[in-house]
Each structure stands twice: as structure tokens, then as C-alpha cells.
């Protein structure tokens, strides 16, 4: 009887959302908290916020997004501890720095809180901290796929602009790219920082000092947008091969304008949406996917932009 009531409540919540578009009440009473490593300044995470909000509405659960305002991982560790102290039904979190975050995440699991790792980290690390599963993009594999494509398109010597050097798994994108090209990564991976003016100046300086570079890889809008500005300033926009991870308004415009050859969409909407749905079904019915979920990579080119452009920065 209880199961039937829960099923009816879930169906009602989904139907109400579909019919009215309004936020559904938390009929089941679950509370899920997503903790990310992203600073407030990184607008890419708006898609994550939209993903958990929509999932919460559709399954009738309460969801909340928390992050360290400056992106400090030590701050993030404290936020996870605070989230666990509120005893939610589940925590969804990135694993930006395994050494710093494994303690608080494992402690939450030991407390009896279900945890899903998303976006950053690896399936192996998720298993080690006791999480239910990992939802995200396999970073090295995505970088390798990017490198294979770049190699086919003529790239031989590259610059990888890494704005998240403190997150080792993100750097695996650069490493996979280099391996696919068959070259040493070496100094080709730049620690760009996150300040747009500084990134632009560093890219300009690197390209001036290394005129044989014929390809650029950026790891998201934080590094892509200033790199676009750098290429426009030095006259190389459209003349140097340019691939990027993730999407955003300026990236989409640059793909349309033939400045960026392609973007790699890791589908952050799914990284946020799926864990909420999975946790709700786990809590209510005891069902769980048997494998981790790869949300990407998917290449976005100029001829496939219509749907992406419509929802870029919102759901894509």
C-alpha cells in the first residue's frame, strides 16, 4: 500500500509539473543537496542549477545548490560537512580534489547519506569514497577524442589553456589530447588562472613566443572566452585550429563565426538532472542503475547548432 501511495504521489507531481509548469510540492519529502567546486563567477554552472531544479520539480523533491563563492576547495570540504550535518536524504557532489574531499564525502557516506559524484572525479574515485555511482564525462577519453579529431584536421603543435589547474582530472583533457596527437604534453598545458584579462594576455604571449602552434584547446568558457578575445586581437581568429570543451553564448557565436571549430558538450544538464532522479528512485523503490553514466563527450559543430544555440547557457 505504501509503495502504491508513493507511486501515485510521484505520478501526481510529474503530471502537475507537466500541466502547470509550476514547482511541484515535495510530496515525498526527500531533500537533496548538490555541492560544486565552482566559484560564483562561473556562469557555466547555471545549467547545473537548472538541471537540479527541473528534476526536483518533476520528482517532487526539495533540491539545493551550494558552492564556495571563490571556488576554494577547502571551503567546499566544509560545505560538504555542513550539508551532511543537516542530514539530507542525498548529497550530489563534484570531486574536484580527491585528497581534500575524500574525507568529508566518506564521512557523509558513513553517516548513512547516499552520495552521487558528478562532473568532476572518476568512477574509481567515486567507488573509493563509497558513492552510489558517478555521472559525468570521462575526461581523458574526451580529451583523446578531441585530439584524434584535431589530428585529422591538421593540428601538430598545440596550446591547452587550463583554467582549473587545481583539478587534476580536468587536466586529463589536455593529456588525452596530447596523447592522441602523439606529442608530449610538456609546457603545452598553460596554467591560465581564471582572470579574463590575465588569460588573454597569457595566450597572446604564448602564441607570440611559439609561432609554430597550430591548434588551441580550451577547457570551458572561463578560458575559451578570453582566448577568443586574444585571437581577435592578434589577427589569428579563424586562422588557427580552435577546439573547446563546454558551451556558452560566446562559444556558440565563435562556432557560428568559424573562429572555433567545435565544442565538446559534456551535457551538464544530465550531470545534475540524472542524480536527482536516480536518488529519488533509489529512496522510493530501491532501484539503481548498474553502471556509471557517461554524460559526454559529444561534438558540437556549426551545422548542429540550432537546438544547442536555443538552450546554450540554460540547458546545454
* Per-residue confidence band for 306, with pLDDT thresholds at 50, 70 and 90: confident
Strand partners, 298: 265
Q: Where residue 219 sits, what CATH number does that domain have? A: 3.40.50.2300
Let me know whether 155 and 14 are in one domain: no
Residue environment code for 82-104, b if the CB has 16+ CB neighbours within 10 A, otherwise e: ebbeeebbbbbbbbbbbebbbeb
Let me know whether 207 and 175 are in one domain: yes
Task: Name the most confidently modeled range: 4-18, 141-155, 296-310.
Answer: 141-155
Q: Is the pTM of this model over 0.95?
A: no
Let me know whether 84 and 168 are in one domain: no
Tell me whether residue 308 is in a domain: no
Let me know whether 171 and 275 are in one domain: no
Tell me whether residue 303 is in a domain: no
Let me know whether 169 and 240 are in one domain: yes
Domain carrying residue 240: 139-265
Beta carbons of 215 and 183 less than 8 angstroms apart: no
Let me know whether 58 and 162 are in one domain: no
- Give the strand order in the sheet containing 62-66: 62-66, 31-35, 90-93, 114-118, 133-136, 293-294
pLDDT tens-digit readout, 240-255: 999 999 988 899 999 9
Tell me whether residue 82 is in a domain: yes
Let me know whether 150 and 123 are in one domain: no
Element (H, E) at 233: helix 221-234
Beta carbons of 61 and 30 less than 8 angstroms apart: yes
pLDDT tens-digit readout, 192-218: 999 999 999 999 999 999 999 999 999
Tell me whether residue 316 is in a domain: no
Let me know whether 26 and 149 are in one domain: no
Distances (CA, A) of 102 to 95, 107, 110, 315: 8, 8, 12, 29
Distance CA 304, CA 300 (A): 6
Let me know whether 9 and 36 are in one domain: yes
Let me know whether 260 and 148 are in one domain: yes
- Give residue 247's pLDDT: 86
Q: What is the SS3 assignment for 97? A: coil
Beta carbons of 168 and 219 less than 8 angstroms apart: no
pLDDT at residue 25 greater than cutoff 60: no
288's grid cell = 539503481
Residue environment code for 239-249, b if the CB has 16+ CB neighbours within 10 A, otherwise e: ebbbbbbbbbe
157's grid cell = 603543435
Number of compact structural domains in the chain: 2
Q: What is the SS3 assignment for 248? A: coil
Distance CA 31, CA 86 (A): 10
User: What average pLDDT score do residues 46-57 get?
Assistant: 97
Let me know whether 275 and 129 are in one domain: yes
Let me know whether 123 and 217 are in one domain: no
- Give residue 28's pLDDT: 58
301's grid cell = 559543430
Tell me whether residue 306 is in a domain: no
Tell me whether residue 301 is in a domain: no
Beta carbons of 43 and 196 less than 8 angstroms apart: no
pLDDT at residue 227 greater than cutoff 70: yes
Tell me whether residue 315 is in a domain: no
Beta carbons of 65 and 282 less than 8 angstroms apart: no
Q: What is the SS3 assignment for 159? A: strand
Percent of the chain's residues with pLDDT above 90: 80
Tell me whether residue 51 is in a domain: yes
Amino acid at each position: 500500500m505504501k509503495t502504491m501511495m508513493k507511486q501515485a504521489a510521484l505520478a501526481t507531481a510529474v503530471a502537475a509539473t507537466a500541466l502547470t509548469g509550476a514547482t511541484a510540492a515535495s510530496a515525498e519529502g526527500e531533500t537533496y543537496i548538490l555541492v560544486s567546486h565552482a566559484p560564483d563567477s562561473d556562469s557555466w554552472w547555471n545549467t547545473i542549477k537548472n538541471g537540479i531544479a527541473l528534476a526536483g520539480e518533476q520528482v517532487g523533491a526539495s533540491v539545493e545548490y551550494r558552492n564556495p563563492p571563490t571556488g576554494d576547495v577547502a571551503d567546499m570540504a566544509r560545505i560538504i560537512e555542513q550539508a551532511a550535518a543537516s542530514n539530507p536524504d542525498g548529497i550530489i557532489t563534484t570531486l574536484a580534489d580527491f585528497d581534500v574531499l575524500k574525507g568529508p564525502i566518506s564521512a557523509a557516506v558513513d553517516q548513512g547519506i547516499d552520495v552521487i559524484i558528478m562532473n568532476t572525479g572518476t568512477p574509481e574515485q567515486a567507488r573509493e569514497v563509497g558513492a552510489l555511482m558517478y555521472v559525468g564525462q570521462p575526461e581523458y577519453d574526451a580529451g583523446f577524442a578531441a585530439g584524434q579529431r584535431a589530428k585529422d584536421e591538421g593540428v601538430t603543435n598545440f596550446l591547452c589553456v587550463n583554467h582549473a589547474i587545481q583539478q587534476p582530472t580536468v587536466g586529463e583533457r589536455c593529456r588525452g589530447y596530447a596523447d592522441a596527437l602523439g606529442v608530449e604534453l610538456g609546457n603545452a598545458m598553460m596554467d591560465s588562472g581564471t582572470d579574463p584579462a590575465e588569460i588573454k594576455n597569457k595566450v597572446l604571449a604564448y602564441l607570440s613566443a611559439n609561432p609554430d602552434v597550430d591548434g588551441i584547446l580550451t577547457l570551458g568558457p572561463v578560458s575559451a572566452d578570453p582566448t577568443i578575445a586574444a585571437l581577435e586581437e592578434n589577427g589569428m581568429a579563424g586562422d588557427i585550429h580552435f577546439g573547446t570543451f563546454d558551451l556558452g553564448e560566446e562559444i556558440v557565436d565563435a562556432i557560428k563565426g568559424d573562429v572555433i571549430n567545435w565544442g565538446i558538450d559534456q551535457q551538464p544538464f544530465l550531470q545534475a538532472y540524472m542524480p536527482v532522479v536516480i536518488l529519488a528512485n533509489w529512496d522510493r523503490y530501491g532501484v539503481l542503475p548498474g553502471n556509471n553514466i557517461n554524460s559526454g563527450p559529444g561534438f558540437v559543430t556549426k551545422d548542429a547548432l540550432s537546438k544547442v544555440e536555443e538552450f546554450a547557457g540554460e540547458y546545454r
